[in-house]
Amino acid sequence: MRRSLRVLQLQETPAASAVVALVVVFSIASAHFRTVSNINDLLLTSLFVLFVAIGMTFVLTAGGIDLSVGSVMGLGGAITGLLLEHGAGTTLALAGGLMSGVVVGLLNGLVITRLKLADFMVTLASLSIVQGIVEMMTANQPINYSGNALGNLSGATVGPVSVAVIYAVVITVIMAFILRFTSFGRAIFAVGMNPRAARLSGINVEATRVLAYVVSGFMAALAGVFLASYLSTVQALQGSGYELEAIAAAVIGGTSLLGGKGSVWGAALGALLLGTLQNGLVLASLSGYWFDVVEGAVIVAAVALGGGLQVLRTIAIPVESRRARAAG
C-alpha cells in the first residue's frame, strides 16, 4: 500500500505511464513500429529535444525560462562545422561549438541577474540576436557536415543501437545526477522555490541562476551539433521551434514553470513521449499537422494529470503520516 503511494508521489509517473501506454498502443497498431530499427530511429530523433529539455529543466527549476535555445542550437552546429571546415581537430571543433553555447548562456544569465531584467524578455532578445549572427555565418553557403569527422554520428552503431543514443543515455544520467545529488543542483531548487530564503541560507542566488543558463546554453549547443550531424548541414533556422518543444517536454515530465520543481528524468520521458507520438503518427500516415494538435493536447493532459496527482498526494500523505505516527 505504502509503496504504491510512493509511486504516486513521483512527478515522473504521468509521463512514464503515458510513454508506456503509447508504445503499447503503437506496437499493437503497427508491426513496423516495434522493429528495432524504428525504435532506434525514434530514439535518435528524440535526442535533440531531449538535450535542450534537460538544459531547460535546470533553468525552469531555478525559476527562469530560456527562449534562446533554438538559435543556440544553430550557433553550436555552425561554429563546430566552420572549425572543422577550417581544419581544426574534432575535439577543438566540438569544444568551440559547445563553448559558444556556454558564452550565450553566460551572457543571458549575467544580463538577467545584473540588470535585473525579465528572463523571458532577455532570452527572447538573445534568440533574435543569435539567430542573426548564425544567419550571417551561414548566409553564403550552408555549412556542410557530410564529409567531416562528426558527419556520421547517427550512422555509427553498436549492435543495433546508434552510438549517439548511447551518448545521450550517458549525458542524461550525468545531468540527472547533477540536478539531484550535488550542492549546485540543490541550490537550483532552493533558488527557484524561494530566492529570499535561499539568500538568507547563504546560497549565492545570482551565481546559481547564471550557471543554470550556462547549462542550458551548453546543452542547446550540444543538441545543435547532434542535429547538424544528423541533417548533414547547418542552416540558421534549423533549431527554431525547439525552445517550445523543450519547454513542453520538461513540463510533461513534471517540471514547474514557477520554479522549485523539476526532474531530468521527467524531461527525458517528456522528450521520449513527444518523439514516440511523432513517430507513431507518421506510421499511422497522419499528416504532420496532426502532431501539433496532439502535442498540444498531451501538454494539457500532462499538466492536468500532474495537478490531479498533486491532489491525490495531498490526501494520501497525511494518511501515511498518521499511520507512521500511530506506528511510532
Which residues of the shown chain bind other proteins in the complex (CB under 8 A)? 181-184, 186, 189-190, 193-194, 196-204, 260-261, 317-318, 320-321, 324-325, 328
Q: Are 188 and 61 in contact (CB under 8 A)?
A: yes
User: What residues contact residue 311 under an 8 Å CB cut-off, 6+ apart?
Assistant: none
CA pair distance 122, 114, nearest whole angstrom: 12
146 versus 321: smaller Cβ distance to other proteins: 321
Cα separation, 229 vs 223, in Å, equals 10
For residue 162, the 8-state DSSP code is E
Bridge partner residues of 162 (DSSP) = 157
Instruction: In angstroms, give the least distance from the CB of 319 to other proteins.
Output: 11
- Shortest distance, position 5 Cβ to other proteins, whole Å: 13
Residue (133 or 211) nearer to other proteins, CB: 211
Q: How far is the CB of 185 from other proteins (least distance, A)?
A: 8
Q: Which is nearer to other proteins, 297 or 317 (CB)?
A: 317
Residue among 104, 72, 86 at smallest CA distance from 228: 72
- Distance of closest approach, residue 314 Cβ to other proteins, in angstroms: 9
Q: How far is the CB of 103 from other proteins (least distance, A)?
A: 24
CB of 234 to other proteins, least distance (A): 35
Written as one letter, the residue type at 34 is R
Which of 49, 84, 103 lies closest to 224 in space, CA to CA?
Answer: 49
SS3 235: coil
Report how far apart, in Å, the C-alpha atoms of 1 and of each of 5, 162, 319, 320, 324 are: 7, 40, 11, 10, 13
Q: Which three cell numbers stand for residue 61?
A: 527549476
Task: Report the residue number, 4 or 91, with the smaller CB distance to other proteins.
Answer: 4
What is the C-alpha separation between 186 and 198, in angstroms, rounded? 10
Choice between 191 and 272, CB closer to other proteins: 191
Minimum CB distance to other proteins smaller for 117 or for 324: 324
Query: C-beta of 177: minimal distance to other proteins in Å?
Result: 9
Residue 157 or residue 321: which is nearer to other proteins going by CB?
321
